[in-house]
């Protein structure tokens, strides 16, 4: 109401007050509907094959969902936040449809392998919003989340090349897909930036849920003289940690290191109270991306049909604390490379250059 209106006769003011009161009721009702919608907002996720406790990708996504739930006073279960685990690819569609029937507002599919299932279910359920992590689905009710894994992996390569004593470094990948190719390419480039003469022994195990494959692959690499292995293999990478810890237990002087992936895997490398084989971890902040998309969706700003990419410049990728395994001089070197990448001065390739 303007100042001029305040100078009107009392009767007009009262009439205007009545009208404003009516309008206010409508606005309050609209506001109440929005607040009710936000209060009832619920999210869920379907895991990839590694499971919810893979100490890696799925776990990071679940931590993001739990954090969002806690911040918004949600409880686990219908109407709050939830997850369903996939034991095989045949579970993807079943789990997604199950969460749709339970009326979750936003459903995340974790992993590139779930791309086709998200595309199919999203087309059948246009009123439900979905988000695919590490994949691209062109649909108005799907937000695609990608990461610049090559940027974080580059820093891991710098760390590995700076601490190796044998000049033999290994990379253990899961399935040969673009996201793992980006980890591989960035790692190789980081190693080359420090010492182009170092060769990276790379093996794709073909699985994200076979710890035994990770262990046997790591056994061969360490036996050949490799002293640092970076894994990007989900739960398969747990076997790499197992092999390194066994060797360190047998020989306290064994020079074996593991670089973790997706989440801070320091605990996975714990041998005893004084010894840990985790050099660092390439942290893909899936938790941050999940919270970001969920917040947008709750505020009616869901980025459907968009591709959101997170890298070093927006804290989507990072190296975990080395707990003293990496010297200050090397850390300064890593920080310098990180700044150059974030500023766009260094472009890290997404595929290994042959």
Residue 24 has pLDDT above 90, yes or no: no
Give yes or no: residues 223 and 254 share one domain.
yes
End-to-end CA distance of the chain: 70
Residue 29 has pLDDT above 70, yes or no: no
Q: What is the pLDDT of residue 55?
A: 76
Q: What is the pLDDT of residue 26?
A: 44
286-302 mean pLDDT: 97
Give yes or no: residues 142 and 157 share one domain.
no
pLDDT in tens, 159-192: 999 999 999 999 999 999 999 999 999 999 999 9
Give yes or no: residues 48 and 117 share one domain.
yes
Domain that holds residue 297: 39-147+287-312
Q: What is the pLDDT of residue 120?
A: 98
Relative orientation angle of helices 328-342 and 149-163, to the nearest 10 degrees: 150
Domain for residue 16, yes or no? no
Per-residue tokens: 199 = 């060769």
Whole-structure pTM value: 0.83
Per-residue tokens: 266 = 């320091």
Domain for residue 354, yes or no? no
Give yes or no: residues 139 and 203 share one domain.
no
Chain centre to alpha carbon of residue 231: 15
Give yes or no: residues 61 and 75 share one domain.
yes
Tracing tokens 């893909």 back to the chain, one arrives at 284
Give yes or no: residues 156 and 220 share one domain.
yes
Give yes or no: residues 53 and 71 share one domain.
yes
pLDDT in tens, 224-273: 999 999 999 998 999 999 999 999 999 999 999 999 998 899 999 999 99
Higher pLDDT, residue 317 or 37: 317
Alpha helices in 125-168 (DSSP H): 149-163
91-101 mean pLDDT: 98
- CA 43 to CA 241: how far, in whole Å? 33
Domain for residue 29, yes or no? no
Q: What is the pLDDT of residue 50?
A: 79
Give yes or no: residues 103 and 227 share one domain.
no
Give yes or no: residues 277 and 292 share one domain.
no
6-29 mean pLDDT: 39
DSSP states along 213-248 = HHHHHHHHHHHTT--EEEEE-GGGGHHHHHHHHHHH
- Counting residues of the chain whose pLDDT is more than 90, the rounded percentage is 83
Domain for residue 353, yes or no? no
CATH code for the domain in which residue 126 is found? 3.40.50.2300
Domain for residue 61, yes or no? yes
Neighbours of 298 (CB within 10 A): 20
Give yes or no: residues 71 and 124 share one domain.
yes
């Amino acid at each position: 109401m303007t100042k001029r209106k305040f100078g009107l006769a009392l009767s007009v003011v009262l009439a205007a007050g009545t009208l404003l009161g009516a309008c206010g009721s409508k606005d309050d009702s609209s506001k109440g509907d929005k607040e009710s919608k936000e209060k009832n907002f619920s999210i869920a996720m379907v895991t990839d094959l590694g499971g919810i406790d893979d100490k890696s990708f799925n776990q990071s996504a679940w931590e993001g969902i739990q954090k969002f739930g806690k911040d918004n006073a949600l409880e686990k279960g219908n109407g709050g936040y939830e997850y369903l685990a996939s034991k095989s690819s045949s579970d993807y569609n079943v789990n997604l449809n199950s969460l749709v029937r339970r009326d979750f507002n936003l459903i995340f599919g974790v992993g590139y392998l779930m791309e086709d299932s998200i595309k199919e279910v999203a087309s059948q359920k246009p009123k439900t919003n979905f988000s695919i992590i590490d994949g691209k689905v062109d649909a108005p009710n799907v937000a695609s989340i990608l990461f610049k894994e090559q940027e974080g992996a580059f820093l891991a390569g710098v760390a590995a090349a700076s601490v190796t004593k044998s000049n033999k470094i290994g990379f253990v990948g899961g399935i040969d897909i673009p996201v793992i190719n980006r980890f591989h390419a960035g790692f190789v480039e980081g190693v080359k930036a420090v010492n182009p003469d170092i060769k990276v022994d790379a093996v794709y195990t073909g699985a994200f849920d076979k710890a035994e494959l990770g262990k046997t692959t790591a056994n061969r690499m360490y036996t050949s003289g490799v002293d640092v292995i970076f894994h990007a293999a989900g739960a398969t990478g747990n076997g790499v940690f197992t092999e390194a810890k066994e060797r360190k237990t047998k020989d306290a002087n064994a020079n074996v290191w593991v670089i973790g992936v997706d989440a801070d895997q320091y605990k996975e490398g714990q041998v005893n109270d004084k010894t840990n084989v985790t050099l660092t971890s390439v942290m893909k902040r899936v938790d941050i991306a999940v919270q970001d998309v969920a917040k947008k969706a709750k505020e009616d700003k869901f980025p459907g049909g968009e591709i959101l990419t997170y890298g070093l410049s927006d804290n989507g990728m990072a190296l975990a604390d080395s707990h003293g395994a990496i010297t200050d001089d090397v850390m300064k070197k890593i920080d310098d490379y990180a700044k150059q990448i974030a500023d766009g001065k260094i472009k890290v390739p997404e595929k290994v250059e042959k």
